[in-house]
Structure formats: structure tokens, C-alpha cells
């Protein structure tokens, strides 16, 4: 490959030179960062240019928490996002069912009862009546609840006599029969009955997702819980050099095969653009489905304090085991009790393993010292705040200590924590421009600003999507900044992200996504 010269406004995220006028790329790395004249002086004859004009370049955007396989599957399944009622969801599924062979499973995702008039969970009655010839399993937007028809429940052998599993809940009618909604670990009762994807299907789903990520400017993604079949698919893609973006995969640590997976990846933690050196564990459920583990009951569901997806003693034991094996422990923690317990367990982990609190969604002020003591990375997702703002206070109570510590990025930053931002796609959209706007403005879809005291500056938000993500994957010495010697991962935007109006951020076009000097996406 010849030399590549980028000329214009470069926001480098390098404290020694926050802004540059040009950068020279050779053999996949930045070899010179400075003025145009300085870079041209060092360039070779076979030089190509990217002239930015009124646009800008930033270090490659990193999504520090996403689920590519789920996202890739969702792109080929029933999409329920934005549906305003249970009936609308059922109609979408029924239309899709006309295209599917009789008896085949129908899957979908994205429903959110908080958008419906009564905000109640759905039942299986309408769904069962509309889809008698197919088993149907539909994931809630947060992937912590599954809505099934009666055919799916029968296929799983689930009836009124089936007990709630540890860490899960089967919603039931007055007669004790399942309504069709399963919370957290109860979802596994049906998922086990769904035929697993074939190896080629997994690869195709991953590539669908990763190519979509590249198209919105993302150069690396942290896969937050990859099972054995996903890791195997990543390995095959990496060995063929078919990955369009970099993957930092966390081993799904909930299963009995954790020791085996860690032994497997300890031998070869990196293959091309793939790195596997972290383990993902789950403390609790999600706030939207009232599964997040809270110290006090939900404001809108007295007596319910959420669900532990893993017994707290087992969780702490696994965190210690993961750390002893030299892997980075990453724990999904949303409720205030789950966050406090996770951070307490992290205080027993060597700080150089950089334990990660995934979501850290509700952290009371009194527990912030635990964040400092543990040295945990705050792996947070800005768009969750603006999506959840219309109903979060009904769960937590307006003006309560736990509400004031909800989605509190400023609180984490001022505690000295490293911020690594992502989206948690497909729970939220994949677009980092939406994440930047959410972090800076905290505006909901209605335009209301929620908890403005937790807003970040654009530089802080951009840092969390670039240098912060690199730190979270131990790559700060080679990525996350436009710096001489660093790998040439960068994202080209049509306008300057630090200058446009905050509400314009989601509309700034992505002109190119470059990974290791290789253009993986080029806009018009």
C-alpha cells in the first residue's frame, strides 16, 4: 500500500497535540502527525490524499459494549422497535409468519411495553391466536425478557407446574399458567428448545452486524458475552482476515464451561483483528423489566427488589477465579445493590487487570468510594439514559438518592474512573453519533433534558468513545489516539464534530471508516 495523507482538522485525543492539520499513514500506522508541510516532506512518491474540507477526523470510534450476533440476527428477524402497542407487535409478527415455513421458529426483538398505553407486559393470547403454526420467541428491547406464544411454551415443555428458575421469573395468570413472558434466566427454558445456528449462519450474522458498524464509523467493538459458537465463528473470520472491524470479545462466563474457554483462549488470545482476554459475568437483570437488583423495592412495584442472575457469593467467586486466570473481569451491573456488590468484589482484584463495571447504571453517592477503591472502568452507554428517561423515575422514585446516581457519567468521571462508552446494541441503536449527542445533551426524544448535571463536554464524550475504549481493552499504547507509531484506525466525518450544533451530531455524515490503514467503509 502507498502512503496516505489526511489533511484538515484532526482531533487526535493525544494530550501532547490535541489538534493537528495532517497525518501521514504508512503500512497501517501513523508515521507523522503535524502540519501538512511536515507530513508531505516525509511522504513517498506514491501518495494518496484524504482532503477533509469542512469535515474532521477522529481516532477510530470504539463501541465498548455491544452484541454483534444478536444484532446480526435481529437484522434478519421481526423488528418490533418503536411499536406503540401489543397489537402492533402481533401484526408485525403475523405478517412475517406468512413468509416462514410452517413449524419454523419465528424470532424477533425490540418490543418495549413502556411505549404502550397501559405499560403492562404483554400476554401470549393475542400472539398465539395470530401465529398458530409457528413457535414464536420475541426478545424485549433490553434482552432481559422473552415474549412467547403457546406453541413455543409447549415446545419447551413449560406449563403451570414449571417452577421459576434461580435468577428468573415466569409471569403467570390467576390460574398459575404462564402468560408467555419470561424474565431473565427463565428465558433459557425456551431458548434451549430453539435449534442453534449452523456455523455458516453465525458467521453471516456477525458479518451483517460488523459491516453495519463500520458504516456508522465504528472501527472496534467489544462483544459483551460471546458464547463458544460465537468465539469459534470469530476465530474463523479472523484467520481468514475477514473481520471488517476489530473485535475485543468477552467470554460468556455464566456457563459451566468457563474454565475450558479460558484455557482455550489463554494459549492464543489474539488472532489478527480478534482479541479474547476478558470474561463477562452478570450480576442482575435490567431496569426496564424490573430485574435490576435494588437495595429498596421498586417505586412502581412494591415488594420487588429485582433479580440476581448469579448468586452474589458465586459471582464473587467467579470474579476471583477469572482474575486468578489472568483474564479481565467484566460484570453486568445495573441496580444500585448489584453495582455496589460488584465494585466491592472488584476491590479484591488486582487493579492492573482493569475490572469493568458494565452499565454501572445506578450508583448511589455513598457507594462512589467503592468505584475509586476498585479502580474499575465505568463501561457505560449514553443512549440508555435518553431512552429510559421517560419512565426511569417511576421505577426509582423522583429525587431519591438512587435516582440522582442513575446513568451518572459525570459522577463516575469525577470519581477518577476511566469512562468507556458504547451502545449495548441491539438494545439501543448502533450509531455513535446518537451516543455523543446523548452524552452531551441528555435530551430524550421529546426534547426534555434529564439530569443535566451529569452531562459531559464533547471532548469528554469523544474521549470515552475512543481513548476510553482503547484503555478498556489494554490497547492505549497503540490505538485510541492519532499519534505517531499508533495503528491507523480513524473515522472521517463530513463536518467538525466539535463545532456543529449538538442536535446536528446524529446527522453528520460518516465519510470513511479506516482500520489499520485499510478503508472498510467509504461513504458517497
Which three-class secondary structure state does DSSP give residue 521? strand
Element (H, E) at 229: helix 228-239
146 and 169 Cβ atoms separated by less than 8 Å: no
Residue 279: pLDDT above 90? yes
368-381: pLDDT as tens digits? 999 999 999 999 99
Residue 40: pLDDT above 80? yes
Confidence band of 183 (pLDDT split at 50, 70, 90) = very high
Residue 138: pLDDT above 80? yes
Residue 367: pLDDT above 90? yes
**What is the reported pLDDT for 76?**
86
**What is the reported pLDDT for 105?**
96
Confidence band of 63 (pLDDT split at 50, 70, 90) = very high
**What is the reported pLDDT for 209?**
98
Q: Which residues pair with 140 in a beta bridge?
A: 111
405-433 mean pLDDT: 97
Residue 45: pLDDT above 90? no
Q: State the distance between the two ends of the chain, measured CA to CA, in whole angstroms.
A: 22
**CA proximity to 345, closest of 369, 326, 317:** 317
**What is the reported pLDDT for 8?**
98
Whether the link from the prior residue into 426 is cis, omega within 30° of 0, is yes
Confidence band of 197 (pLDDT split at 50, 70, 90) = confident
310 and 281 Cβ atoms separated by less than 8 Å: yes
**CA proximity to 405, closest of 448, 446, 447, 359:** 359
**What is the reported pLDDT for 115?**
93
Residue 1: pLDDT above 80? no
Q: How many CB atoms lie within 10 A of CB 196?
A: 11
**CA proximity to 400, closest of 338, 451, 452:** 451
Confidence band of 199 (pLDDT split at 50, 70, 90) = confident
User: All domains of the chain, ordered by start, with CATH?
Assistant: 3-60+487-522 (2.30.40.10), 72-191 (3.10.310.70)
Residue 352: pLDDT above 80? yes
64-112: pLDDT as tens digits? 999 999 999 888 899 999 999 999 999 999 999 999 899 999 999 999 9
164 and 188 Cβ atoms separated by less than 8 Å: no
Q: In whole angstroms, what is the distance from residue 364 CA to residue 345 CA?
A: 17
135-164 mean pLDDT: 96
Q: Which residues pair with 358 in a beta bridge?
A: 332, 379
Confidence band of 299 (pLDDT split at 50, 70, 90) = very high
**What is the reported pLDDT for 445?**
83
7-16: pLDDT as tens digits? 999 999 999 9
**What is the reported pLDDT for 198?**
82
Confidence band of 168 (pLDDT split at 50, 70, 90) = very high
Q: In whole angstroms, what is the distance from residue 469 CA to residue 220 CA?
A: 9
Residue 2: pLDDT above 90? no
**CA proximity to 350, closest of 385, 376, 381, 389:** 376
What is the pTM for the complete model shown? 0.90
**What is the reported pLDDT for 503?**
96
Average pLDDT over the chain, rounded to whole? 96
441 and 225 Cβ atoms separated by less than 8 Å: no
181 and 147 Cβ atoms separated by less than 8 Å: yes
Amino acid at each position: 500500500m502507498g502512503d496516505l495523507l489526511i489533511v484538515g482538522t484532526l482531533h487526535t485525543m493525544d494530550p501532547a497535540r490535541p489538534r493537528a492539520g495532517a497525518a501521514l499513514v504508512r503500512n497501517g500506522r501513523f508515521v507523522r502527525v503535524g502540519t501538512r508541510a511536515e507530513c508531505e516532506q516525509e511522504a513517498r512518491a506514491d501518495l494518496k490524499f484524504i482532503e477533509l474540507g469542512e469535515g474532521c477526523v477522529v481516532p477510530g470510534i470504539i463501541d465498548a459494549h455491544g452484541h454483534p450476533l444478536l444484532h446480526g440476527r435481529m437484522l434478519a428477524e421481526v423488528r418490533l422497535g418503536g411499536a406503540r402497542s401489543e397489537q402492533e407487535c402481533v401484526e408485525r409478527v403475523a405478517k412475517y409468519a406468512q413468509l416462514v415455513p410452517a413449524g419454523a421458529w419465528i424470532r424477533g426483538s425490540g418490543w418495549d411495553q413502556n411505549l404502550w398505553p397501559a405499560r403492562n407486559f404483554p400476554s401470549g393470547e393475542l400472539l398465539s391466536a395470530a401465529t398458530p403454526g409457528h413457535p414464536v420467541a420475541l426478545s424485549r428491547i433490553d434482552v432481559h425478557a422473552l415474549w412467547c406464544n403457546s406453541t413455543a411454551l409447549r415446545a419447551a415443555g413449560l406449563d403451570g407446574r414449571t417452577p421459576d428458575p434461580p435468577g428468573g421469573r415466569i409471569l403467570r395468570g390467576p390460574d398459575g399458567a404462564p402468560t408467555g413472558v419470561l424474565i431473565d434466566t427463565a428465558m433459557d427454558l425456551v431458548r434451549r428448545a430453539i435449534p442453534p445456528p449452523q456455523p455458516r449462519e453465525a458467521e453471516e450474522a456477525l458479518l451483517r452486524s460488523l459491516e453495519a458498524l463500520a458504516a456508522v464509523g465504528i472501527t472496534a467493538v467489544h462483544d459483551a458475552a460471546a458464547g463458544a459458537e460465537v468465539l469459534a465463528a470469530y476465530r474463523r473470520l479472523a484467520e481468514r482476515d475477514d473481520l471488517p472491524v476489530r473485535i475485543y470479545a468477552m467470554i460468556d462466563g455464566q456457563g459451566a464451561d468457563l474454565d475450558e474457554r479460558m484455557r482455550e483462549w489463554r494459549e492464543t488470545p489474539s488472532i489478527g483483528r480478534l482479541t479474547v482476554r476478558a470474561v463477562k459475568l452478570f450480576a442482575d437483570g435490567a431496569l426496564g423489566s424490573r430485574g435490576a437488583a435494588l437495595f429498596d423495592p421498586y417505586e412502581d412495584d412494591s415488594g420487588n427488589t429485582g433479580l440476581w442472575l448469579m448468586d452474589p457469593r458465586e459471582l464473587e467467586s467467579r470474579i476471583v477465579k477469572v482474575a486468578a486466570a489472568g483474564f479481565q473481569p467484566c460484570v453486568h451491573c445495573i441496580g444500585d445493590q448489584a453495582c455496589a456488590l460488584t465494585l466491592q468484589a472488584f476491590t479484591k482484584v488486582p487493579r492492573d487487570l482493569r475490572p469493568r463495571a458494565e452499565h454501572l447504571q445506578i450508583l448511589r453517592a455513598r457507594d462512589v468510594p467503592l468505584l475509586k477503591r476498585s479502580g474499575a472502568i465505568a463501561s457505560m452507554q449514553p443512549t440508555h439514559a435518553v431512552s429510559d428517561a421517560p419512565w426511569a423515575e417511576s421505577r426509582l422514585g423522583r429525587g431519591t438518592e438512587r435516582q440522582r446516581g442513575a446513568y451518572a457519567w459525570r459522577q463516575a468521571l469525577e470519581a477518577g474512573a476511566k469512562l468507556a462508552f458504547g451502545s449495548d446494541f441491539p438494545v439501543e441503536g448502533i450509531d455513535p453519533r446518537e451516543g455523543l449527542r446523548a452524552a452531551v445533551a441528555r435530551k430524550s426524544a421529546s426534547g426534555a433534558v434529564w439530569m443535566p448535571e451529569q452531562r459531559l463536554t464533547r471532548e469528554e464524550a469523544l474521549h470515552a468513545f475512543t481513548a476510553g475504549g482503547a484503555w478498556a481493552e489494554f490497547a492505549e499504547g497503540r490505538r485510541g489516539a492519532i499519534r505517531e507509531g499508533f495503528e491507523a484506525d480513524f473515522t472521517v466525518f463530513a463536518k467538525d464534530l466539535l463545532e456543529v450544533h449538538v442536535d446536528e451530531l446524529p446527522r453528520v455524515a460518516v465519510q470513511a471508516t479506516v482500520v489499520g490503514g485499510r478503508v472498510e467503509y467509504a461513504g458517497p
